[in-house]
Amino acid sequence: MRWSSAIVLLVLLSLSASVHAASGPIDIEADRMLSQEKDNSVLFSGKVVAKQDDVTIYADEMTVYYAPEGDSKKKPAAQKGPAPGGGSAQKIQKLICTGKVKITRGEWTGLGQRMDYFAGERKVVLSGDAQTWQGQNMVSGKTIIYYLDEGRSIVEQDDSTRKRVKAVLHPDSKAP
């Protein structure tokens, strides 16, 4: 049990460190972009590639939700991005990626069918046969939830298929 918690922490720590320290611009490329002011969102679709510092996210679709302007009741988001329609920068409230999601940072890789990032809660949810690797170490489950500020993660099994959580640990391998 201790090893599995440690490996999940090691595997996801790379992602949390990058989200915490991310300061560079977010560069997003896609086949199409649709900005919707009514819900403060921008939908990128078709071979989406998003890069910030040393983190790259690949997905079929990515929706970026911005905090409404003047929304001081909400906890500040960790990221700022271009405003929908090209206006001034707004804080990112939520990020949802769907379809063949892949996240890379150095030797760390995460895969799933969906990734949700909630800026106010500082939480990342990778779901749909979620898998993460760091070097030879691997953790998989139906869903991997990581609480960035707490350094806590939960890996859940798929009850419908009885597919259990799996971890492959190499105690002698070094984390980058």
Please check the confidence at residue 166 and state whether its pLDDT lies above 80. yes
What's the CATH superfamily of 2-168? Lipopolysaccharide (LPS) transport protein A like domain (2.60.450.10)
Span 161-166, mean pLDDT? 88
Is residue 22 very low, low, confident or very high in pLDDT (cuts 50, 70, 90)? low
Q: Are 122 and 114 in contact (CB under 8 A)?
A: no
Q: What is the DSSP string of 132-172?
A: EEETTEEEEEEEEEEETTTTEEEEE-BTTTTBPPEEE--TT
State residue 75's pLDDT score: 45
Phi/psi at 38 (5° precision): -60, -35
State residue 10's pLDDT score: 39
Separation of alpha carbons 9 and 136, rounded Å:
15
Partnered with residue 83 across adjacent β-strands are none
pTM summary value: 0.74
Please check the confidence at residue 40 and state whether its pLDDT lies above 50. yes
Six-digit token string for 95: 């990020």
Domain ranges of the chain: 2-168
